[in-house]
Structure 1
Amino acid sequence: MQERQAACRIQVMPMAPAFTEAAQALASALGLPCGSSTGPSDGEFALQLGPAGLQLQQLGAEAPGPVWVDFLQGGAAHRRQFGGGSGQMIAKAAGLQPGVRPYVLDATAGLGQDAFVLATLGCRVEMIERQPIIAQLLRDGLERARGDAQVGSIVARMRLHQGNAIELLRAWQDEPPQVVYLDPMFPHRDKSALVKKEMRLFRPLVGDDLDAPALLEAALALATHRVTVKRPRKAPPIAGVAPSLTLEGKSSRYDIYPKKSLKA
């Protein structure tokens, strides 16, 4: 992972002189160079630290806008208020039903959107993210949300682990999760599919999750009740055990591997 970060030439940048010390500490923790708030960046990406928090910005004339984690406003807030509650596909796929709010481990957390939906609906959610920069963006978003009167109680149900999900699942020592949720990066062949700026930014950092079969195997060994895998609608299932149930939407679907019924 460090090699991929180095190949992408990422630099931590304070957005004002007041954030220089914090940016230097973050750069040291991530093993990245630290730039100046007044000087240009010579990297392809800038991890920018400022008064609004931490954001990742791809550099260049045609680069998309920055990506950051915000559970208080924007899409997360809209979905929390108007997203359809437990009627959402992800809720059904994770096994939510009246009186049932399973303990979930999201082993491919990314920016935490799916985990936040499940936590909003009352689930306790463990999250694993192996890419250090993405994990840092998620950690920053969680910390900024903790003090909010409405959202603080939601993110209190979310706990982040940074590391290789396969290794962490195999060595899991805490209470086993009832549901393991996976949304591995799918190896797209059509560049037109990369429409979201998050995807455009993250694919050079993360690459494709070619170890998804091993991740599914580890998830099936750990989950007590079910494993749920989010996939592009037309993508094949992850190699290995075939799913017993599929929920299909317009652009994505959920492959479900049940082990035991979830009951109140």
Structure 2
Amino acid sequence: MSLDNGLMELAVASAVGHEQAAADLALRLRLPLQQADSPLAELLLCLDEQGLSLRSTEVDAPGAAGQGAVRVDFVGGSQAHRRQFGGGAGQMVARAVGIRGAVRPSILDATAGLGRDAFVMASLGCEVTLLERQPVIAALLEDGLQRARAAGGEVAEIAARMQLIHCDAITALRDWNGAVPQVIHLDPMFPHREKSALVKKEMRLFRPLAGDDDDAPELLAAALQLASHRVAVKRSRKAPAIAGPAPSAQLKGQSSRYDIYGKKRLD
């Protein structure tokens, strides 16, 4: 699969014992299947005992040779730390979507990415529907959710409140026929900033996949049409607001902010 105007190639590989699952994934994503120890592609989607990961085959690249490979992990690592010590309902994302007291709105995260913000919202008791249009990112996210559900305990309970749909968000919002979400969360990616949910090494791997969300104004318009109570848009602190109506409120952190478009009070 060629990415970013043919500048990078992507393939699927597996560890011993995971060959059939990798072959099935390659078929589903319409990607070539290669050997992990002698890949031809610049990016590899690798399946092993730890789950699915994305890594670069460039020797000096972040994620190369399995070091720092990007995977979705809701069970351990930074997500576990954030779940336990991240500040609960005091976190900016929680305040932005209206979590307070006993209020737990239904949320649609229309730019799910690696699911980190969605996991925080679900960990605080919200039912969250996640939309992701990029098939490889959606596959990584689904793999992380499956492992979280299999882990049992609190993490499985949180993952049970997260439903992933692989689709184009704008089309999905315009044609929505399910329960109307009270809040829609957006975190679009733009050329002038790094997506705040991704650290630097991940940006190098994900930029060819995700590209830039040049259709963010259309996404915001569709979100405002569908959400019953509010839309919360995550931005870098100094970035301009998305073209369209002005936000009714803002929450600012050290490096990012939320533009909030209120429609109705959450009770």
Q: Report the equivalent of 1:49.
A: 47
Q: Report the Cα offset of residue 3 of structure 1.
A: 5.7
- Structure 1 length-normalised TM: 0.94
Q: Report the equivalent of 1:139.
A: 142
Query: Cα–Cα, structure 1 residues 102 and 195, in superposed 2: closer, same or farther, change >3 Å?
Result: closer
In the alignment, residue 79 of structure 1 is paired with which amino acid?
R
Kindly indicate whether residue 14 of structure 2 is the aligned counterpart of residue 10 of structure 1.
no
Q: Report the equivalent of 1:31.
A: 30
Q: Could you tell me which runs of 5 or more consecutive residues in structure 1 were left unpaired when the two chains were aligned.
A: none
Would the aligned equivalents of 1:130 and 1:163 in 2 still touch at CA under 8 Å? yes
Say which is worse superposed, 78-87 or 181-190, in terms of deviation: 181-190
Q: Report the equivalent of 2:183.
A: 179
Q: Report the Cα offset of residue 183 of structure 1.
A: 0.1
Kindly indicate whether residue 223 of structure 2 is the aligned counterpart of residue 210 of structure 1.
no
Q: How many residues matched?
A: 257
SS in 1 for 2:39: coil
- Counterpart of 1:60 (choices 50, 58, 61) is 58
Q: Report the Cα offset of residue 189 of structure 1.
A: 6.7
SS in 1 for 2:55: strand
d(CA) in 2 for partners of 1:33, 1:3: 11
Kindly, what percent of the aligned residue pairs are identical? 57
In the alignment, residue 146 of structure 1 is paired with which amino acid?
R
d(CA) in 1 for partners of 2:102, 2:211: 39
Would the aligned equivalents of 1:20 and 1:36 in 2 still touch at CA under 8 Å? no
Would the aligned equivalents of 2:2 and 2:9 in 1 still touch at CA under 8 Å? no
SS in 2 for 1:151: helix
Q: Report the Cα offset of residue 146 of structure 1.
A: 0.4
- Structure 2 length-normalised TM: 0.93
Query: Cα–Cα, structure 1 residues 120 and 189, in superposed 2: closer, same or farther, change >3 Å?
Result: closer
Would the aligned equivalents of 2:4 and 2:211 in 1 still touch at CA under 8 Å? no
Kindly indicate whether residue 235 of structure 2 is the aligned counterpart of residue 231 of structure 1.
yes
d(CA) in 2 for partners of 1:100, 1:195: 31
d(CA) in 2 for partners of 1:164, 1:111: 16
Q: Report the Cα offset of residue 74 of structure 1.
A: 0.5
d(CA) in 2 for partners of 1:45, 1:99: 44
SS in 1 for 2:245: coil
1:213-244 deviation digits (Å, cap 9, x = unpaired): 00000000000000000000000000011101
d(CA) in 2 for partners of 1:125, 1:6: 33
Would the aligned equivalents of 2:3 and 2:10 in 1 still touch at CA under 8 Å? no
Q: Could you tell me which runs of 5 or more consecutive residues in structure 2 were left unpaired when the two chains were aligned.
A: 64-68
Cα RMSD of the aligned pairs, angstroms, is 1.5
In the alignment, residue 221 of structure 1 is paired with which amino acid?
Q
